[in-house]
Amino acid sequence: MVNSTGPLEKQIEYGSFGYIKKNEPKIFIKELKNLYLFQFIFSPMNEQNLKFLFKREFSLEKLPFLTDVVSNRKNFSMQTEFDKIWVCSSKKTNFSSFKKFPNLFPIDMTNSRVILNIRGNKSEELLNRLCALDFSKKETSFQTTAMHHISVGIYKKEKDIFILFIPRSFALSLYELIFKISLQFGVKVEK
């Protein structure tokens, strides 16, 4: 079940902070709420079932491969590990319908991750101060890294737009680190 309030909502302050030149922050941070996150096991044996399910439930025409992200207006999917695929969806889905395909081992991970949208013309520089990833790859790529010893998935949606998947139990401490680094660029924390 998805909450309309995120786990960070009552813990953080909203507004503009830090070095802001001409009232233009260079970083924008927003916790994405009302999203569902599902994990499926991928193998050649279940590939056809997974393709069928993705098309029927999420209107996704193909499966992601390695660092690619497959998306439409309401859903996106990424291969987070060799044998795991995540789907992030704004659509409430009947999770019990997934159980018709037991070899996919569906897991509802909605409450296991905090999803942050980080955007702005200094967002890539901000993330490079936290991890050693090459963000020069094309848009719609997914990579996993460690930030302050915490495993984080990063979806590069567009040139200066990144979506971070942070384990819920570490979300506040990692958010605070991201926020403190963002102060030097000027940051706006959005509701």
pLDDT over 70 for what percent of the chain? 97
The domain defined by 15-34+112-190 carries CATH number 3.30.1360.120: yes
Stated pTM of the model: 0.91
- Domain ranges for the chain: 15-34+112-190, 36-108
Strands 187-190 and 27-32, how do they pair?
A: parallel
If you ran DSSP here, which 8-state letter would residue 138 be given? P
What is the C-alpha to C-alpha distance for residues 57 and 55, in angstroms, rounded to an integer?
6
| Averaged pLDDT score across all residues of the chain | 89
Q: Is the pLDDT of residue 5 over 90?
A: no
Higher pLDDT among residues 136 and 84, named by residue: 84
Which token pair is 124? 């890539």
DSSP structure string for 90-117: SS---GGGGGG-GGG--EE-TTTEEEEE
State the alpha helices, DSSP H only, in 4-149. Answer: 47-58, 123-128
> Residue 9's pLDDT band (boundaries 50, 70, 90)?
confident
Residue carrying structure tokens 């789907």: 87
Q: What pLDDT score does 43 carry?
A: 86
pLDDT of residue 138 exceeding 80 = no
pLDDT-derived band of residue 62, with 50, 70 and 90 as boundaries?
very high
The per-residue pLDDT for 2 is 58
- Residue 162: half-sphere exposure toward Cβ, Cα within 13 Å: 28
pLDDT score recorded for residue 37: 94
Which residue, among 1, 142, 175, has the nearest Cα to 68 in the 3D structure?
142
Mean predicted confidence (pLDDT) in 118-126:
95
pLDDT band, very low/low/confident/very high, at 96 (cuts 50, 70, 90)? confident
User: How far, in whole angstroms, is CA 86 from its chain's centroid?
Assistant: 10
Rounded Cα distance, 38 and 53, in Å: 12
- Give the closest residue to 87 by CA, choosing from 53, 36, 158: 36
> Which residues, 6 or more positions from 171, have their beta carbon under 8 angstroms from its beta carbon?
7, 8, 114
